[in-house]
Amino acid sequence: MADRLETESRKLLGRLRDAMAGDLEGQARLDRITHLIADSMGCEVCSIYLFRDEDTLELCATEGLNPDAVHKTRMKLGEGLVGMVARNRQVVNTPDAPQAKGFRYMPETGEEIYSSFLGVPVQRLGEALGVLVVQSRTAREFSADEVYALEVVAMVLAEMTELGAFIGDNAAMSARHSQPVLFRGTVGQEGAAEGHVWLHEPRVVVTNPIADDPERERVRLREAVEQLRVGVDKMLEIAGGQDKDQQQVLEAYRMFANSKGWMRRMEEDISNGLSAEAAVEKEQSVARARMGQVTDQYLRERLSDLDDLSNRLLRILTGQGADTGAEMPADPILIARNIGPAELLEYGRSLKGIVLEEGSVGSHAAIVARALAIPLVVHAERVTTEALNGDHIMVDGEQGVVHLRPDDNVVTAFRDKIAMLAAAQERYASIRDLPAETQDGAVLSLQMNAGLMADLPSLPSSGAEGVGLFRTELQFLVRNQMPRRSELVALYARVLDAAGGKPVVFRTLDIGSDKVLPYMKPNDEPNPALGWRAIRVGLDKPGIMRMQLQALIRAANGRPLTVMFPFVAQFEEYRSARRLMDKTLAAEERLGHVLPESVKVGAMLETPSLAFAPLKFFEEVDFLSIGGNDLKQFFFAADRENERVRRRYDTLNVSFLSFIEGIVERCNATGTPLSFCGEDAGRPVEAMCFAAIGLRSLSMRPASIGPVKSLLRRTNLPEVRKVIADARHRGEMSVRPAVMEWLRTRGA
């Protein structure tokens, strides 16, 4: 039976290929295909439903249903049995469709006389394109072999759709990769950019989904898999015992490459008429579909490994390497599923913008994008499957919106916005050298955050008074092994040289949580943000901290040195770190190294517990910097990487502002210098409110200094304090509405 079905499947695919090669196009080609499928499977009905938009399916062709319903019958995702197949991306096979849960009767189709229903998703690499349905009058459940055969056909339909097989003068569908598409993601780095798409990993295009000679395709597959296995073995040999984590990933690759089940399934697909490439991609599509449904992190990682391995195998089979010969456009907007900091740094400032399907606002890529002042949007779902190299694209980093192949109206409005942003930057440049002084005479110190040498050229042009936070972990994250002390000495010295005498606050290594070094064994912690990270790692591994402190001391070479320890949760942690600093200074003096002219040692206040430390702590610490990003997530118990909860909580919430004000009062009582560091410091309205409750030093990304200074210079702080106080008195949850209304009445 199976052999007969395999033969029938090959015959059907051969007939489909002939239909592709014929003169028919567009709707006529789709109509011919539904007739061929219905005839081959012995069914009265075959229908193809394709997505018109991400939520709407349309009947695009049918054999057996009312032809007048074509392009008129539409349904929402999840609506009816067809909508259920599309939403769940799973087969629906029932002998009695009208009685099945979720059935929706469409009177215009005339389908009420058909009992049996088999629907399979038409999908490519995890992207749902539509649903393929067969129906018959006889009440029966389709066999597993018949289901499998229809899935193979759906796979080929997906490839045909991707290759534009149904486009023509009488088009059933508009051409893929040709229509304007809007993506809504999350802001990773503000700014606006216009340019052309540059794909970080160009998609492999399968141009021959159907094959005549199964034996030849099996030989091609086996040879490619053997080449893949040899490549994985070589990578394992090179990795050796140096990197256990990388070795574990490669061992997983080796396991999949040698998987008999994986090979058997692909060979079965070839027996059913698919080419070797199409068989690999069919398995890859199944893996991606499962990846979107499993919640277990380990299983997701393994499915991701299989996805990556499939890509490697496809590149071997097609000869389509990462270098396709395409020339990078002069104004590239980088499109990728995700990207590491080292890869992003290789592109450097040549990029005009970055759009990622995955990523997060706190990822290494986001940190690098901010350092390079490149607009970044993350969580732009499906962008890698929709965009092609060279496509016109506009990235709105202010709103987290991406316009791919925009129409003329969008282009005009977007260019107006870019012009307005440019005009605003000119206004900010005119006040660059003026103090951040409010109308009532309060003067604030505005400093910039940095983490790369690429940041430092922004110091004079931004108007920053110094570097309020230099993130030292980036030099550790972009390498495959621990940097040498001599390398760190040279880097830190260049940072101080580039600062030109302006103060620089070096934050010691802040790793853990979302920042895992590639050469350190990650800890399987249930909640990494609350786990072994930052100062906790430094105190448990004093050798690493000592090496970094030595590098900072030697880099200062007689100049002032300011060091800040991250994520201090209690007084004793600061004291222990301070003792290590004092011992390192003494050891450096004994070795004859030049000591810094002065040394200031501070802490980042990122946990609510430190705000209630003993008074002695505030007296001993040289300075404090509120790490707003972490402090806010712990204050509200809302993961800042979780979009479902982080936006629920406002920085200008009355309770959070009151908490910050309490820290200001404690520092004022002990004369402890205090600053606020984080994304909120660079938002003009938030910065104005921080100033109103007593903060006098803010550290932010360079591009934010102009907008913040502009608003502060037009603000009377006593008036803002009164607005905040009145909102508190009225019992309002957040002062934002009242503050925004006050700004509107003043025309600010």
Instruction: State the Cα–Cα distance between residues 672 and 688, nearest whole angstrom.
Output: 21
Which contacts qualify for 164-169: CB closer than 8 Å, 24 or more apart? 165/20, 165/29, 166/25, 166/26, 166/27, 166/29, 166/30, 166/60, 167/25, 167/26, 168/25, 168/26, 168/27, 168/28, 168/29, 169/25, 169/26
Instruction: State the Cα–Cα distance between residues 119 and 147, nearest whole angstrom.
Output: 9
Amino acid identity at 469: L
The token duo for 116 is 């049996």
Question: Do 90 and 102 contact (CB within 8 A), yes or no?
Answer: no
Strand extents, DSSP E, 472-544: 504-507
Instruction: State the Cα–Cα distance between residues 80 and 132, nearest whole angstrom.
Output: 14
Indicate the SS3 state at residue 367.
helix
Which contacts qualify for 328-334: CB closer than 8 Å, 24 or more apart? 328/198, 329/195, 329/196, 329/197, 329/198, 329/390, 331/194, 331/195, 331/196, 332/195, 332/196, 332/197, 332/198, 333/193, 333/195, 333/196, 333/197, 333/198, 333/393, 333/395, 334/198, 334/200
In the sheet with 392-396, reading across from the earlier edge strand, the strands are 181-184, 401-404, 392-396, 192-199, 332-336, 353-356, 376-378, 186-189
Residue 254: which of 304, 322, 306 has the closest Cα?
306
Backbone torsions φ then ψ of 316, nearest 5 degrees: -65, -45
Cα 698 off chain centre by: 28
HEC string for 204-261: CCCCCCECCCHHHHHHHHHHHHHHHHHHHHHHHHHHCCCCHHHHHHHHHHHHHHCCHH
Beta bridge partners of 122: 130
Question: Do 477 and 513 contact (CB within 8 A), yes or no?
Answer: no
Contacts (Cβ under 8 Å, ≥6 apart) of 107: none
Backbone torsions φ then ψ of 365, nearest 5 degrees: -60, -40
Question: Does residue 364 carry a catalytic annotation?
Answer: yes
Instruction: State the Cα–Cα distance between residues 268 and 6, nearest whole angstrom.
Output: 9
Question: Do 432 and 461 contact (CB within 8 A), yes or no?
Answer: yes
List 43, 46, 60, 364, catalytic entry: 364
Indicate the SS3 state at residue 576.
helix
Question: Does residue 177 carry a catalytic annotation?
Answer: no
| C-alpha to C-alpha distances, 100 to 47, 113, 225, 644, nearest whole angstrom | 19, 15, 43, 34
The token duo for 217 is 């395709």
Which active-site residues does the annotation give?
364, 677
